[in-house]
Every structure is written in structure tokens, then in C-alpha cells.
């Protein structure tokens, strides 16, 4: 009998991707299917196994995209379709805090599907924390209460402005008890009904001067805190256009937010930028822009694909067989991608590292050497200067003294590797173990995130050329290099180009652009 699938009800936390739990991340990285909600940030979706089927059941403010009963059924269906599969059900905040995780779990129990709950940090306490408001505080609040501002039969959080005309009594709320409760009150999903809720609390005796705060899109680069009192709640929502997702927190602790608000408004706060560099190169610029407050969507324009083919110097390629490994007694790796692809394909062919017993191993440099260590393999040869030329010369010397045999050297490289090694070792054989290709299309969730961005960052003309094939053009681009700039201009982008061809210079330019724009 097939091993059964398991569904993981995972809390994604309130928005900041750093607030996802380690357990949550671990499961997303190996998930076969990810069923996710509207409030989950693109950065967290980007952590999911790139091969996972991504299913958006996001609820839009005024209607359910996919009905809850359908979501429940979908989870069971995916579990049945994927024996031994890892099905991640990813929800904002915590799955059991107004997340309907309980309903999903009950359905899974009914269907005999195994499940696990991975709690998340609920917005109810973390969003106030990011606004500098402790939900409890000695001498001010000795309890806090998390309340839904809408219940069954109440319209699902329409935009605040329309909400004022569509108030209905949230079913099941005991306003008298709430009004007399001395603790902090935290309302989720309450913006639409807040005018009504505030009035009912006052009617039941709650002090109209009770301080309250609306915190919109908490923990994200778009976080905003709006302070009010119970009596000004409704008008403040309309005046300030407070929109979902937002929480409302009421009580004396709100005052502390005036002193403790620690989250700085950074130069790029509220900006969503697309970075088109390859994942490994992107981390530097991503970290810089994130530290400046931006939300960064990493969208590499190239991807690598595992292949096994033999090429000669003229890059004529023929497919190869792992049986031929016995012909070689030295394997040379020139990239971490090469190491990963080689071992993945070796295992997929039904073999394992024992095929390498007795063979010598060479690496171009330290990073590749470290990657090989992860596979339990030490290198015999690493050139001092960590270059392909250095490696070629080192191996050629060893051949010259009879330590190695040139025709029994196997080079494991990517399709774009140059011929340096083959020129220095003309009798060696090269296998291409991975290919670098332009990205052919973006997954839907990423295309939507990218198309909603403020600007896109380009570091090469090829990135521009490929970007316009996979996503529509936002009006603004930040470019490194004049060639990149003119390619972007040709495709109708407004361009801002860094003075120097470095990421630091580009980050500086982006900040300058937005601060000038804000002053204007
Ligand atoms: N399970 C979630 C809550 C789901 S109900 C949790 O534990 O946080 C959805 C409501 O959560 C929204 O209407 C809003 O009130 C609140 N919410 C979720 N994320 C938020 C955020 N980043 N900022 C402000 N409120 C948020």
C-alpha cells in the first residue's frame, strides 16, 4: 500500500517573511502542493519548493475566491492524488486563530487524512508589537482578548469606506461583557464593522476616550498605524482610509505605542521592487534594498536545468551514460551547480556515491569544495588561485609527472562554461551536467506580484529582453550599465541608471530617486 500523504496546516505569520517558523519553512521547501491564502507574502511563496503545485485560494475582500467548503475538499483531494505527498496549507498568521484551520482539520479527520499543525505568529499580537504596542503591560492591562469583528452572516471585510453603509451586528459578540472587560481588546477583521462595534461598546458603558489604534498591513513594508479613540473610531477609518488587512487594538496600552514605535519609516518603505538577477547573485542587492525598507521580489531571468550530455570543445553534444564513469579516474567540478546536478542525476539513475570509489576529485575553488563536502567527498586538488585556468594548469602538471592520466579526466560543467579547461587538457572529456536557460514563464503568483511592483531592477540587457517576454512592463526601471539602460528604454521603460556599475551605487540611486520624488 502506498504511504499516505500528509497535510500541514501552516501559519505563515503576519507578513514579514522573517516571522515564518523554521518548521514552516522546512515543510514549504519540500512541499508537493501549496494551497495558500491572500495574506501570504510573495517572499514566503518564493521559499516554496519551485516544483510545487501552487494553488491560490486567496480570499478577496468582498468575496471568497474559493469557498471554504471547496478548500476543505481540495485538501482531501490533493492528499488522495499524491500518495506520500507533502501538502502545505499555508495561511496568514496562525492557522487556528480565525484561520478556519479547525474546520479544515475536521474535514481531514473525516476523510482519514493525516495532518500536522504548524502554528504561526498571529497578527493579533505581532502586529501591535511592530507598532510598539505591548498587548499586556504591568499596571495597564492584565489580560488581552482577541475578537473577530465579523462573524457569519456579516459581509466579509468590505473596504472601509463602503463598510460604513453595510453594518450588521456581528453575531455572537457580547458587547456588554466586552465593554466591562478591563483588558486590551484586539479586533481582527473588524474594520468594516468598527463604527458599529465602537458605538455598541460605548452604549454598554465603555469610556469613549479609550485610546485605540488601527494597524494596517502590519510587519510588512507598508505598515501604517493610525491612532484614534473609541468615539472617533468610525470617522477616523473613513478620513484616513484605513483598509484591510488591519487590526484594531483598544485600551491603555495603545498609548505606549507613542513612545515605543520602533519600526522606522525607511527610505524605501512601501516600495515593491523586482530584482531580476540570478538567485545566487541577487542576495546582495536584495539584502540592501530590504534593509532600506523595500519589499523585494526576486525574479531571476535565468534558470538552471539538469542534463547529462557530453560536449567537445566546439560544444557538439551527445548524450552520455553513467556506465561510462568507470572510464575516468578523476572528476573535476567547476561550480556548485555542477556538483548538485551531477549527484542528483547520479542518484536518479539508481546509482550512488559508491560509483566514485577510488576516483580522485578536483574542484575549481573553495565554494565548490565546500559543496562537495556536503556530499561527504573531500577534494584531492584545488588550485591556489581558484580559477579554471589555475585548475587546468594544476591538473596538466599532475599529468606531466604521471600522477594523473589526461584522457581519464572527466570535467563536469554547465553549458555556458568556457573552453579554458578543455584547452589546457585537450584529451580530457567534458560532460555538461546542467544548462542555463532563460526563464520561459513565471508562475501565476509571481507574475501577479511582479506586475504589481513599483519598479524593476535590471543588471543586464538579457534580463531586460527576457523580462518583457514573461511579464508586462511597469513604467519604471533601475538599471546598472548604459547598455542595460538603452535596452530598457527600447522597451518603453522609464529608466534611472546608477553612476557606477555596482550594487551599492544602484541602491544609492534608488534611494535618491524616491526621496526626490517624495519631495516633489
Ligand atoms: N489567522 C490570522 C487571522 C486571519 S483573519 C492570524 O492569526 O493573524 C484576517 C485578519 O487578520 C485581517 O482581517 C486582519 O484583521 C488581521 N491581519 C492579518 N494580517 C495582518 C497584518 N499584516 N496587518 C494587520 N492585520 C492583519
Q: What digits encode the pLDDT tens for the residues 296-342? A: 999 999 888 888 887 776 667 777 789 999 999 999 999 988 999 99
Locate the ligand 1 atom nearest the alpha carbon of residue 219 and give its number: 22
Backbone phi and psi for residue 257, each to the nearest 5 degrees, phi listed first: -60, -25
C-alpha to C-alpha distance for 239 and 226, rounded to whole angstroms: 11
pLDDT in tens, 450-485: 988 999 999 889 899 999 999 987 789 999 989 999
Q: Do 83 and 63 touch, CB atoms closer than 8 A?
A: no
Return the higher-pLDDT residue of 174 and 63.
174
User: What's the full length of the chain, in residues?
Assistant: 520
Please work out, in degrees rounded to the nearest 5, the angle formed at the alpha carbon of residue 484 by the alpha carbons of 478 and 490.
95
Contact 236, 198 (CB under 8 A): no
- 53: phi then psi, degrees, rounded to nearest 5: -80, 125
Mean pLDDT (whole number) for 85-101: 96
Q: Between 163 and 220, where is the model more confident? A: 220
How many C-beta atoms surround the C-beta of residue 383 within 10 A? 18
Alpha-carbon span 65 to 19, nearest angstrom = 26
Position 172 scores a pLDDT of 75
Q: What is the pLDDT of residue 154?
A: 38
Query: What is residue 157's three-state secondary structure?
Result: coil
425-448: average pLDDT: 91
Please answer whether residues 38 and 151 qualify as being in contact, where contact means their C-beta atoms are separated by less than 8 angstroms.
Answer: no
Averaged pLDDT, 35-40: 90
| CATH class name, domain 125-260 | alpha beta
Instruction: Answer whether 101 contacts ligand 1 (Cβ < 6 A).
Output: no
- pLDDT at position 158 is 37
31 pLDDT exceeds 90? Answer: yes
Nearest to 129 by CA among 24, 225, 3, 31: 225
Residue-wise pLDDT tens digits, 124-162: 999 999 999 999 999 999 999 999 997 543 333 333 333
Residue 322 exposed, middle or buried by CB count within 10 Å (0-12, 13-18, 19+) = middle
Q: Is the CB of 149 under 6 A from ligand 1?
A: no
> Which grid coordinates belong to 436?
542555463
CB atoms within 10 A of CB 162: 12
Q: What is the mean pLDDT of the chain?
A: 90
Q: Which CATH number fits domain 3-121: 1.20.1530.20, 3.30.565.10, 3.40.50.2300, 3.40.1010.10?
A: 3.40.1010.10
217 touches ligand 1 (CB under 6 Å): yes
> What pLDDT is stored for residue 203 in this prediction?
96
Taking residues 247-264, report their average pLDDT. 95
- How far is residue 332's CA from residue 317's CA, in Å, rounded to a whole number? 19
**Residue of 454, 456, 441 whose CA lies nearest to 274:** 456
Quote the DSSP letter at residue 353.
G
Give the distance from CA 113 to its chain's centroid: 28
Cβ of 127 less than 6 Å from ligand 1: yes
The CB of 128 under 6 Å from ligand 1? The reply is no
Lowest-pLDDT choice from 289-293, 441-445, 515-519? 515-519
Cis before 245? omega within 30: yes
Mean pLDDT across 441-454: 90
Alpha helix ranges (H) inside 5-93 = 22-30, 42-45, 68-81
- 39 pocket-lining for ligand 1 (C-beta < 6 Å): yes
Long-range contacts of 25-28 (CB under 8 A, 24+ apart): 27/86, 27/88, 27/118, 28/52, 28/88, 28/90
Per the model's pLDDT, the better-predicted residue between 282 and 186 turns out to be: 186
CA of 106 to the centre of ligand 1 (A): 22
**Cα–Cα distance measured from residue 213 to residue 91, given in angstroms and rounded to the nearest whole number:** 24
Cα–ligand 1 centroid distance for 453 (angstroms)? 22
Same fold, 272-301+439-519 and 308-437: yes
Instruction: Say which DSSP state 169 is in.
Output: P
Residue 99 — φ and ψ, nearest 5°?
-110, 0
At 108, the pLDDT band (50, 70, 90 cuts) reads very high
**Predicted confidence band of residue 163 (pLDDT cuts 50, 70, 90):** very low
Q: What pLDDT is stored for residue 198 in this prediction?
A: 96
Q: What three-state secondary structure class fits 369?
A: helix
Atom of ligand 1 nearest to the CA of 99: 1
Report the distance separating Cα 201 and Cα 193, nearest Å.
12
- Residue 110 Cα, ligand 1 centroid: separation in angstroms? 28
Confidence of residue 250 (pLDDT cuts 50, 70, 90): very high
Instruction: Give the angle subtended at the CA of 105 by the CAs of 100 and 108, to the nearest 5°.
Output: 135
**CA 288 to CA 476: how far, in whole Å?**
19
What residues pair up with 414 in beta bridges, in sequence order?
434
Half-sphere exposure (Cβ direction) of 223: Cα atoms closer than 13 Å? 26
- Residues forming the active site: 37, 59, 189
Q: For residue 91, report the distance from its CA to the centre of ligand 1, in Å.
A: 10
Give Cα 320 distance to the centre of its chain. Answer: 37
pTM, two decimals, is 0.77
Ligand 1 in reach of 10 Cβ (< 6 A): no
Closest CA to ligand 1's atom 11: 188
In CATH, what number does 272-301+439-519 get? Answer: 3.40.50.10090
CA separation (Å) from 225 to 23, 153, 255, 305, 315? 30, 29, 12, 45, 59
Q: What ligand 1 atom has the least distance to the C-alpha of 123?
A: 8
> pLDDT value at position 153?
37
The per-residue pLDDT for range 363-385, each reduced to its tens digit, is 999 889 999 999 999 999 999 99
pLDDT at 420 over 50: yes
- Of 343, 344, 390, whose CA–CA distance to 365 is shortest? 390
Cα(218) to centroid(ligand 1), Å: 9
Class of the 308-437 domain?
alpha beta
* Cβ–ligand 1 contact at 245 (below 6 Å): yes
Task: Give me the residues paired with residue 87 across strands.
Answer: 7, 33
Which one, of 465, 497, 463, 462, lies nearest residue 480 by Cα? 497
Q: Which residue has the higher pLDDT, 519 or 14?
A: 14
Select from 10, 155, 245, 263 the residue to mutate for testing ligand 1; criterion: most ligand atoms less than 8 Å from CB.
245
Which of 21, 93, 120, 128 for mutating ligand 1's site (highest number of atoms within 8 Å of CB)?
A: 93
Q: What is the CA(101)–ligand 1 centre distance, in A?
A: 14
- Ligand 1 pocket member 219 (CB < 6 A): yes
Please tell me the predicted confidence (pLDDT) of residue 509. 95
| Ligand 1: nearest atom to the Cα of 120 | 7
Q: Per-residue pLDDT averaged across 24-48, rounded?
A: 94
Question: Is the distance from the beta carbon of residue 330 to the nearest atom of ligand 1 less than 6 Å?
Answer: no
What is the C-alpha to C-alpha distance for residues 198 and 206, in angstroms, rounded to an integer? 9
Position 446 pLDDT exceeds 60? yes
Helix, strand counts (H, E) of the chain: 19, 21
Sorted by where each begins, the domain ranges of the chain are: 3-121, 125-260, 272-301+439-519, 308-437
Amino acid at each position: 500500500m502506498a504511504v499516505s500523504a500528509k497535510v500541514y496546516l501552516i501559519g505563515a505569520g503576519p507578513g514579514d517573511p522573517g516571522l515564518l517558523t523554521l518548521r514552516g519553512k522546512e515543510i514549504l521547501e519540500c512541499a508537493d502542493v501549496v494551497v495558500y491564502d491572500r495574506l501570504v507574502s510573495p517572499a514566503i511563496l518564493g521559499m516554496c519548493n519551485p516544483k510545487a503545485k501552487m494553488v491560490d485560494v486567496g480570499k478577496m475582500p468582498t468575496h471568497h475566491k474559493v469557498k471554504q467548503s471547496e478548500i476543505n475538499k481540495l485538501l482531501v483531494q490533493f492528499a488522495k492524488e499524491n500518495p506520500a505527498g507533502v501538502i502545505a496549507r499555508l495561511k496568514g498568521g496562525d492557522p487556528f486563530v480565525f484561520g478556519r484551520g479547525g474546520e479544515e482539520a475536521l474535514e481531514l479527520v473525516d476523510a482519514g487524512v493525516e495532518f500536522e499543525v504548524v502554528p504561526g505568529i498571529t497578527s493579533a499580537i505581532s502586529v501591535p508589537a511592530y507598532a510598539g504596542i505591548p498587548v499586556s503591560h504591568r499596571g495597564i492591562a492584565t489580560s488581552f482578548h482577541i475578537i473577530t469583528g465579523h462573524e457569519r452572516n456579516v459581509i466579509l471585510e468590505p473596504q472601509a469606506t463602503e463598510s460604513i453603509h453595510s453594518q450588521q451586528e456581528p453575531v455572537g459578540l457580547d458587547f456588554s461583557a466586552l465593554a466591562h472587560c478591563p483588558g486590551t481588546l484586539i479586533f481582527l477583521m473588524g474594520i468594516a464593522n468598527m463604527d458599529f462595534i465602537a458605538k455598541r461598546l460605548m452604549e454598554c458603558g465603555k469610556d469613549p476616550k479609550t485610546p485605540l489604534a488601527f494597524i494596517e498591513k502590519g510587519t510588512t513594508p507598508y505598515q501604517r498605524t493610525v491612532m484614534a479613540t473609541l468615539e472617533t473610531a468610525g470617522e477616523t477609518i473613513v478620513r484616513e482610509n484605513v483598509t484591510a488587512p488591519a487590526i484594531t487594538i483598544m485600551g491603555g496600552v495603545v498609548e505606549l505605542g507613542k513612545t515605543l514605535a520602533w519600526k522606522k519609516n525607511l527610505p524605501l518603505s512601501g516600495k515593491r521592487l523586482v530584482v531580476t538577477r540570478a538567485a545566487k547573485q541577487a542576495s546582495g542587492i536584495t539584502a540592501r534594498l530590504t534593509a532600506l525598507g523595500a519589499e523585494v521580489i526576486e525574479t531571476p531571468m535565468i534558470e538552471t536545468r539538469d542534463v547529462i550530455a557530453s560536449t567537445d570543445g566546439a560544444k557538439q553534444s551527445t548524450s552520455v551514460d553513467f556506465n561510462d564513469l568507470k572510464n575516468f579516474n578523476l572528476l573535476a567540478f567547476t561550480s556548485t551547480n555542477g556538483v548538485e546536478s551531477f549527484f542528483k542525476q547520479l542518484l536518479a539513475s539508481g546509482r550512488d556515491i559508491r560509483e566514485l570509489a577510488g576516483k580522485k576529485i578536483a574542484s575549481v575553488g573553495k565554494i565548490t569544495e565546500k559543496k562537495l563536502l556536503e556530499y561527504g567527498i573531500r577534494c584531492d586538488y584545488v588550485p591556489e588561485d581558484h580559477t579554471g585556468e589555475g585548475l587546468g594548469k594544476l591538473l596538466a602538471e599532475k599529468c606531466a609527472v604521471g600522477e594523473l592520466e589526461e584522457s581519464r579526466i572527466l570535467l563536469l560543467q554547465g553549458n555556458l562554461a568556457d573552453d579554458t579547461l578543455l584547452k589546457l587538457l585537450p584529451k580530457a572529456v567534458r560532460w555538461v551536467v546542467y544548462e542555463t536557460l532563460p526563464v520561459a514563464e513565471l508562475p501565476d503568483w509571481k507574475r501577479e506580484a511582479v506586475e504589481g511592483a513599483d519598479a524593476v531592477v535590471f543588471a543586464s540587457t538579457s534580463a531586460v529582453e527576457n523580462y518583457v517576454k514573461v511579464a508586462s512592463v511597469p513604467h519604471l526601471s533601475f538599471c546598472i550599465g548604459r547598455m542595460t539602460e538603452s535596452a530598457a528604454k527600447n522597451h518603453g521603460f522609464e529608466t534611472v541608471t546608477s553612476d557606477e556599475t555596482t550594487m551599492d551605487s544602484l541602491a544609492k540611486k534608488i534611494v535618491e530617486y524616491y526621496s526626490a520624488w517624495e519631495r516633489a
